[in-house]
Amino acid sequence: MDKGRFGRAIEEIKKGKRFIVISHVNPEGDAIGSLLGLALALKGMGKEVIAYLEDSVPDVYNFLPGREMIVHTPEGIGKVDATFAVDCGQMERLGGRFVSFNGKGTVVNMDHHITNSYFGDINIVAPEASAAGEIVFDLLTEAGIKITPDVATNLYVAIHTDTGSFRYSSSSPEAFKKAGELVRFGADPWVIASRVYENYPLKRFKLLSMALSTLEVLNGGKVSTLKVTLDMLNSVGGGKDMVDGFVNFARAVEGVEVGVLFRECGEDEYKVSLRSKGSVDVSKVAGQFGGGGHPNAAGFNIKGGFEEVKKQVIDALHASLGGAQKICQKT
């Protein structure tokens, strides 16, 4: 990663006193880890830092150092010198309340999504990075800002989760190198892995069982879909964060090239998550519906009845995959 791209952001850090660090709605490991890692590092410099997420933090990440710093409304924040937005491709994904907030100061956009809209006053967009956590690591290193064990823990979580525990194609030599450095700085891989992947509530497994019962394999065996409805979530008393990672079960089916998860999020409204094994750039498919992401992981929101929505998505994937579209099996 070209270290020269950090010059203007470092100047903002040096001259500023009050900062917001923010990430996208529906936050996951990279969003939360990158946000808290940068917020704690800036706080360690004596800066006043507001860590902001418009949505709640999934329970599985409540162990992260600095979690108590996060606020969920801009009310009462007042003007800041700069806002650092991490792991977010479009301004609107920071949340409606924050978008309308007038005290943002200079917006520094730090992201690794190829579909980023370059919404910042300063844009540090590195699609080659495995996670936004990598970009934060490089910023701190270039600026000579101390990486404490708490900062290291958060950034390790960011990289570890966005590489799928270093299983995804984004697991570059740089990602491994930085993860190793973060371990040297105090991140504990065993503690982090056990808290993130072996600490799920029973109701998540009940929800997963219901989701798996909706499994369909389509398009000559190349596409697999799962569905989670609001009734399913309500029946187990779960929130939307409980669905995180379910789409990977769809992609894991033998012969499948793209896994799809339809999560009902309102009346005739769905959040669609796409995961590819590499033959389809799902960021381009998501872009057709106003969404975005990475070539192998993308998503978008769409309105309409389920069958209508499903047909639109499968048709778009069919065009990308080629071949005859048909339902092969349903389990």
* Structure tokens given for 57: 């933090």
Asked if 227 and 215 count as a contact pair (C-beta separation under 8 A), the reply is: no
User: Could you tell me if 284 and 319 are in contact, meaning their C-beta atoms sit under 8 angstroms apart?
Assistant: no
- Arithmetic mean of pLDDT over the chain: 94
Final residue in a domain of this structure, among 169, 197, 225: 197
Do 223 and 323 lie in one domain? The reply is yes
> What is the rounded distance in angstroms from the CA atom of residue 217 to the CA atom of residue 235?
26
pLDDT at res. 324: 34
The mean pLDDT value for 71-96 works out to 96
CA distance 327 to 99: 42
CATH code for the domain in which residue 24 is found: 3.90.1640.10
pLDDT at residue 331 tops 60: no
Q: How far apart are CA 258 and CA 241, in angstroms?
A: 22
pLDDT at 325 over 80: no
Whether the pLDDT of residue 48 is over 70: the answer is yes
Structure confidence by residue, pLDDT tens digits, 207-233: 999 999 999 999 899 999 999 999 999
What is the per-residue pLDDT for 118? 97
The pLDDT, as a whole number, for residue 91 is: 96
Tokens describing residue 296: 């192998």
Q: Are residue 226 and residue 188 in the same domain, yes or no? A: no
Whether 187 and 258 share a structural domain: no
Domain boundary among 157, 175, 197: 197
192 and 214 fall within a common domain: no
The pLDDT of 178-182, averaged and rounded, is 98
- Output the pLDDT for position 3: 58
Banded model confidence at residue 330, pLDDT cuts 50, 70, 90: very low
Q: What is the DSSP annotation of 303-319?
A: ES-HHHHHHHHHHHHHH
Chain-centre distance for alpha carbon 90: 13
Q: For 276-318, how does the pLDDT look when each residue is reduced to its tens digit (9 = 90+)?
A: 998 899 999 999 999 988 899 999 999 999 999 999 999 999 9
Domain of 256: which CATH number? 3.10.310.30
Which strands sit side by side in the sheet containing 18-22, from one edge to the other? 70-71, 48-52, 18-22, 82-86, 106-111, 122-125
Structure tokens at 258: 């793209």
Q: Are residues 125 and 251 both part of a single domain?
A: no
| Domain boundary residue, one of 197, 216, 247 | 197
Domain match, 209 and 103 both: no
CA–CA distance, 178 with 159 (Å, rounded to integer):
9
Query: Does 165 lie in the same domain as 303?
Result: no
Both 92 and 220 in a single domain?
Answer: no
pLDDT of residue 170: 87
- pLDDT, position 312: 97
d(CA 263, CA 205): 16
What pLDDT, on the 0 to 100 scale, is given for residue 329? 35
Domain count, the chain: 2
pLDDT (mean) for 256-278: 96
In the chain, the percentage of residues whose pLDDT exceeds 70 is 96
Residues 146, 129 within the same domain: yes
pLDDT at 1: 61
Do residue 77 and residue 103 come from a single domain?
yes
User: Domain containing 260: what range?
Assistant: 203-330
| Mean pLDDT (whole number) for 56-76 | 95
> What are the pLDDT digits (tens) for 88-141?
999 999 999 999 999 999 999 999 999 999 999 999 999 999 999 999 999 999
Q: Are residues 146 and 9 in the same domain?
A: yes
Q: Do 114 and 239 reside in the same domain of the chain? A: no
